């Protein structure tokens, strides 16, 4: 037991020293990086061709499943088919430039829609090359919603495609609720997986109030403001009926604007019937007119690969030295702690049962 206690103390000192050294290195690297780049987090566009990725998957499976003779026969058949397609294309005077291009974007939303900056950069890039009436954009959207102003900006970015007459298809494989549906409704064509969660067309304001707790403990809370409605609800001040009524009016007005926005892009939707804050699965959402088709993004893209050139477009932030160092430290420390704790648990388990 004394040995274990001494070993534990030694390990604690070592980890403390290691943490101090790493923190100092990260701090120095962070300051140097900010001074060099003016505090900006630069990034770059990443583009990959999904047709090629699908072809690689097909080839991998083919080599694993088929025998050599069958593979040769299929290769000959595909080669012949490609020649026929090439001849047909030349007869119709179709060139590579005439072929449709589909640009695939991803948006994984959180409470504050932090990914809107990456989305903005990708949209700007695509709009420089996309051809109205020819090319198409597919957005794979996942979001449970969040802050109104954040999702308002995200939705406004998607409107840019509509203004430039670039067809926008949005696929929801898991969830597009509240602010997520605000974005989804902008699509020219909206699809959802059968069990995707769709809807939650509503607005909510909530916060804990500690006024009575402070009052019971004789704690005063002072708040000085100018303007009758500068502060209506707060965490510590007394909530008045007048303040509560004002917030309700604001929430109702925001809900009205939300419904108006959806109606603008889905005019056939019975908005009063669906703007209840409820959430529905994809199949029910289709019945109510919230979506246009039941399908997954994978199914849609695989079908399109046969006719169009498909490109996945994403924005990657440049990883700074401090980020790399921090990631390395977290991984190393995590593995070390896992190993130590697992060893202790195993030892304790043996001592208990054997």
| pLDDT per residue as tens digits for the range 164-183 | 999 999 999 999 999 999 99
Q: What is the mean pLDDT of residues 71-97?
A: 64
What would the pLDDT profile of 216-258 be if each residue is shown by its tens digit?
999 988 888 898 888 888 888 888 899 999 999 999 999 999 9
Give the pLDDT score at 269.
Answer: 96
Give the pLDDT score at 229.
Answer: 85
Give the pLDDT score at 346.
Answer: 54
Q: What is the mean pLDDT of residues 60-85?
A: 73
The DSSP string of 16-36 is HHHHHHHHHHHHHHHHHHHHH
Integer Cα distance of 301 and 308 in angstroms? 10
- Catalytic, out of 79, 163, 230, 350: 230
Residue 178 is among the residues annotated as catalytic for this protein: yes
Spatial strand order of the sheet with 279-281 comes to 175-177, 197-199, 279-281
Distance separating the N- and C-terminal Cα atoms of the chain: 18
Look at 15-29, 69-83, 312-326, 329-343 and tell me which has the smallest mean pLDDT.
Answer: 329-343
- Catalytic, out of 143, 178, 200, 297: 178
Q: Other CB atoms closer than 10 Å to residue 41's CB: what's the count? A: 13
Give the pLDDT score at 352.
Answer: 43
Domains with residue ranges and CATH for the chain? 101-200+278-325 (3.90.226.10), 202-269 (no CATH)
> In this structure, are residues 169 and 139 in contact, taking their beta carbons and an 8 Å threshold?
yes
To the nearest 10°, report the CA torsion of 140, 286, 144, 230: 120
User: Greater confidence, 330 or 279?
Assistant: 279
Residue 297 is among the residues annotated as catalytic for this protein: no
Q: What is the mean pLDDT of residues 90-119?
A: 84
Share of the chain above pLDDT 70, in %: 74
pLDDT-derived band at 315 (thresholds 50, 70, 90) equals very high
């Amino acid at each position: 037991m004394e040995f274990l206690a001494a070993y534990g103390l030694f390990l604690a000192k070592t980890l403390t020293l290691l943490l101090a050294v790493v923190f100092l290195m990260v701090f120095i690297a962070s300051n140097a990086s900010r001074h060099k780049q003016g505090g900006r987090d630069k990034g770059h566009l990443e583009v990959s061709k999904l047709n090629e990725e699908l072809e690689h998957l097909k080839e991998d499976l083919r080599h694993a499943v088929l025998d050599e003779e069958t593979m040769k026969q299929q290769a000959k058949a595909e080669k012949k088919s490609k020649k026929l397609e090439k001849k047909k294309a030349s007869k119709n005077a179709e060139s590579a430039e005439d072929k449709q291009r589909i640009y695939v974007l991803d948006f994984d939303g959180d409470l504050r829609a932090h990914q809107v900056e990456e989305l903005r950069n990708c949209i700007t890039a695509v709009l420089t090359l996309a051809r109205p009436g020819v090319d198409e954009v597919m957005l794979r959207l996942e979001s449970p919603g969040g802050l109104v102003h954040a999702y308002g900006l995200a939705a406004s970015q998607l409107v840019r495609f509509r203004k430039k007459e670039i067809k926008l298809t949005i696929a929801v494989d898991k969830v597009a609720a509240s602010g997520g549906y605000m974005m989804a409704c902008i699509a020219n064509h909206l699809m959802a997986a059968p069990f995707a969660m769709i809807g939650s067309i509503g607005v909510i304001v909530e916060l804990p109030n500690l006024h009575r707790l402070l009052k019971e403990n004789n704690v005063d809370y002072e708040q000085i403001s100018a303007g009758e409605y500068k502060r209506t609800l707060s965490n510590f001040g007394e909530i008045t009926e007048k303040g509560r009524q004002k917030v309700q009016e604001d929430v109702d007005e925001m809900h009205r604007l939300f419904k108006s926005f959806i109606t603008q892009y889905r005019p056939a939707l019975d908005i009063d019937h669906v703007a209840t804050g409820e959430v529905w699965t994809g199949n029910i959402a289709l019945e109510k007119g919230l979506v246009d088709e039941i399908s997954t993004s994978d199914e849609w893209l695989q079908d399109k690969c046969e006719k169009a050139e498909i490109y996945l477009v994403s924005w990657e932030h440049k990883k700074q030295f401090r980020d790399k160092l921090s990631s390395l430290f977290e991984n190393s420390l995590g593995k070390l702690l896992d190993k130590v704790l697992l060893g202790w648990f195993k030892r304790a388990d043996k001592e208990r049962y054997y």
